[in-house]
Amino acid sequence: MSEYQPPIADIAFALEHVVGYPDIATLPGYEHADLDTVVELLEQCGEFMAEIVAPLNRQGDIQGSHLKPDGTVLTPDGFKDAYQQYVDAGWGSVPLPEEYGGGGFPRAVGLAIQEMFNSANLAFSLCPLLTQGAIDALLHYGDDKMKNRYLPKMVSGEWTGTMNLTEPQAGSDVGALTTKAVKNEDGSYAITGQKIFITYGDHDMAEQIVHLVLARTPGAPEGTRGISCFIVPKYLVNDDESLGERNNVETVSLEHKMGIHASPTCVLSYENATGYLIGEENKGMRIMFVMMNAARLGVGAQGLAVAERAYQQSLEYAQQRQQGLAIGATGATSAIIEFPDVRRMLMTQRASIAALRYLMLLDASYVDISTHDPDPAVRARADEIVGILTPICKSFGTDMGNELTSLALQIQGGMGFIEETGAAQHVRDVRIAAIYEGTNGIQAADLVGRKLGVRGGASILEFIATMREVETDLANAGADFDGIREELERQFSELERATHWMLKTGQGDPNSLLAGSTPYLRMWGLCTSAWLLARAAVAAAKTDDASLADNQLVLARFYAQQILPQSGSLLGAATAGATDLFALDAHSLSGAARKVRN
């Protein structure tokens, strides 16, 4: 497995020239986070990730985490020490509130850190990601006593957090959960039930784990309306803030997974465990969505990050592997990077990764605007855009993570397919990202079911209009940009057609709306990617760096000509309706329906 090289220059260019970070740094509360400070911070963080975290990636995959006979979980060699160094360095606290010990930096900076962390070691990085989701929930809905008791040590990383949503019988249908919460005389609750797929539900890297558990109180309404959210700590906390006795939560087993072997995915059993209500009873879904939305952008960044790590390895291999003789070459053999199809795969990775980075950072930047801009109208509009971009980032980002890591493996041929090179680990690790924190089908349903209809469709149409402003910029940039502009015009028009169809059809035929949701979201992913690459090319042309300008123009042109046309081809699928999806009954779909002819 090749060594990880943090793409600091690419991240810095994205922040400065593509997503408008200099404006973010002027918002109230972010004045200390100017671009120069941020780039220096990211350089230091990149060194930490490359030198301390990345070398553990392969060993963690081989060794995995293990459940000990005493019910505790042992993480792979080196993880506990590396996590302590991570806490001591304070990398997890950078984007978190200063009042609880954080650095108070923008979410965009935190996402850049997350990218490098995920690239270095995805399985390791999941623990802080889940902790951040739990922190966000407590920041929004915890009372002062709860915040003061738990947040300082969670922000520092001394304590970690989990999200306990899923149950064996419920899966993604959160409303079907059966975990019970019965109120005790002292105001706490007795939590009883079983939760599955709990990432870092137990481990040896921190002294305390703060579980956020969804449960149902007696007499609560059916479905999602009757769900409440509770803090259930691994160890009870004494009045003096010291850790007390072990709570009644047990790790029953660890899942044996396709990838992320180092990350302990736990089955947890609660038996009259002591829990504390967050907010009000029956308001758990609101809290869950705070956790999930924070995690969904982070998961989208996982697709980007693992694709980046896989790309670096495939590029190195293509440069070194001698095989065959390229057209026009001299000598006995050529490096495979000289062959057109290998170049196609490398360019697809390079352009797509750049686009994904711009997309993730743009979403994070709008999160910052939605929380810190002094103008309420600006904050409200930014929040709408976050609502549009987040399902696209999560779904398109992780789908592309699957596709790009597969391309990276393909470049390495048989050497990529064998485990010793580490290329296969990237494919295995990233595969979960399209599944957890709301499957990508759920993201597509969220886009068309919740976000499409905001202000009667005006919100999403306004965003398309905002993207189309780049057409004027491209026209003014010169003839070299004409091909990009022409293809973007075509594809933006097709996206508008699909959007108007969705708005019209969804009112009377929601099944057809959902039937086309996944190809529709894919259209959005392709168009936003091409749009941001075009913005990057225009911005780079205005710098005094000719090499940068040439590179960004090539990436934007390649994407527009060879990848973006896929968007228009999805219009038919997006608007086909649901008839054929349900034309065959379950029996007809099975092999039993086929007749053998003699």
- Measure Cα distances from 175 to 39, 72, 170, 295, 299 in Å: 44, 30, 8, 20, 23
- Provide the sign of the torsion angle of the four alpha carbons 205, 208, 214, 218, taken in this order: positive
Is residue 106 over pLDDT 90? yes
Query: Percentage of residues in the chain with pLDDT exceeding 70?
Result: 98
Is residue 226 over pLDDT 70? yes
Neighbours of 590 (CB within 10 A): 10
Q: How confident is the model at residue 581 (pLDDT cuts 50, 70, 90)?
A: very high
CA angle 244, 247, 248 (to 5 degrees): 155
Q: Which residues contact 498 (CB under 8 A, 6 or more apart)?
A: 516, 520, 523, 570, 571, 574, 575
> SS3 of 463, please?
helix
Q: Which of 499, 462, 293 is nearest to 390 (CA)?
A: 293
> SS3 of 402, please?
helix
What long-range pairs does 94-98 form, CB within 8 A, spacing at least 24? 94/41, 94/45, 96/132, 96/135, 96/155, 97/139, 97/155
Q: Which of 539, 541, 560, 551 is nearest to 489 (CA)?
A: 560
Residues 430 and 302 sit within 8 Å (Cβ to Cβ)? yes
Instruction: Write out the catalytic residue numbers.
Output: 437
Q: Which of 124, 163, 115 is nearest to 5 (CA)?
A: 115
pLDDT digits (tens, 9 = 90+) for 320-359: 999 999 998 888 899 999 999 999 999 999 999 999 999 9
Residues 351 and 364 sit within 8 Å (Cβ to Cβ)? no
- 439-454 average pLDDT score: 95
Is residue 16 over pLDDT 70? yes
DSSP-derived pairing of the beta strands 189-199 and 180-183: antiparallel
* Number of DSSP helices (H) and strands (E) in the chain, helices first: 23, 11
DSSP-derived pairing of the beta strands 228-233 and 180-183: unpaired
Q: Which of 560, 563, 567 is nearest to 480 (CA)?
A: 560
CA angle 315, 429, 233 (to 5 degrees): 140
Per-residue pLDDT, 506: 85
CATH number of the domain at 131-282, out of 3.40.47.10, 2.60.120.260, 2.40.110.20, 3.30.70.1560? 2.40.110.20
The Cα 556–Cα 554 span in angstroms is 6
User: How long is the chain?
Assistant: 598
Give me the residue label for tokens 């080196």.
78
pLDDT digits (tens, 9 = 90+) for 156-200: 999 999 999 888 877 667 777 889 999 999 999 999 999 999 999
CA angle 437, 39, 95 (to 5 degrees): 40
Which amino acid type is present at position 454? V
Compute the CA torsion angle 240, 242, 251, 67 (nearest 10 deg).
180
The Cα 22–Cα 34 span in angstroms is 7
Q: How confident is the model at residue 293 (pLDDT cuts 50, 70, 90)?
A: confident
The Cα 226–Cα 221 span in angstroms is 4
Q: Which residues contact 11 (CB under 8 A, 6 or more apart)?
A: 42, 112, 115, 357, 361
Compute the CA torsion angle 161, 167, 172, 178 (nearest 10 deg).
-110
For residue 363, give the H/E element and its range: helix 340-372
- 546-555 average pLDDT score: 97
Q: How confident is the model at residue 102 (pLDDT cuts 50, 70, 90)?
A: very high
Neighbours of 244 (CB within 10 A): 12
The Cα 480–Cα 540 span in angstroms is 13
pLDDT digits (tens, 9 = 90+) for 485-501: 999 999 999 999 999 99
Q: Which residues contact 95 (CB under 8 A, 6 or more apart)?
A: 102, 103, 104, 105, 106, 107, 109, 110, 111, 113
Phi, psi angle pair for 196, to nearest 5°? -120, 165
Q: What is the mean pLDDT of the chain?
A: 95
Is residue 432 over pLDDT 90? yes
Per-residue pLDDT, 172: 66
Residues 426 and 306 sit within 8 Å (Cβ to Cβ)? yes
Cα 389 to the center of its chain, rounded Å: 12
Give me the residue label for tokens 């995805």.
122
Phi-psi group of 84: left, alpha or beta (phi > 0 → left; psi -120 to 50 → alpha; rest → beta): alpha
Per-residue pLDDT, 322: 92
Q: Which of 82, 97, 127, 79 is nearest to 29 (CA)?
A: 97
Give me the residue label for tokens 């006979």.
69
Per-residue pLDDT, 295: 87
On the 0-12 / 13-18 / 19+ scale of CB atoms within 10 A, 454 is: middle
The Cα 287–Cα 424 span in angstroms is 37
**Residue 494: CA atoms inside 13 Å, Cβ hemisphere, count?**
26
The Cα 218–Cα 229 span in angstroms is 14
Q: What is the DSSP letter of 456?
A: G
Query: Percentage of residues in the chain with pLDDT exceeding 90?
Result: 89
Is residue 592 over pLDDT 60? no
- Cα diameter, the chain: 85
Could you tell me the residue ranges of all domains in the chain?
131-282, 439-581
pLDDT digits (tens, 9 = 90+) for 497-535: 999 999 999 889 999 999 999 999 999 999 999 999 999
Tokens of 382: 């930014």
Q: How confident is the model at residue 288 (pLDDT cuts 50, 70, 90)?
A: confident
Q: Which of 287, 334, 14 is nearest to 174 (CA)?
A: 287
The Cα 539–Cα 535 span in angstroms is 6
The Cα 195–Cα 183 span in angstroms is 20
Residues 8 and 42 sit within 8 Å (Cβ to Cβ)? yes
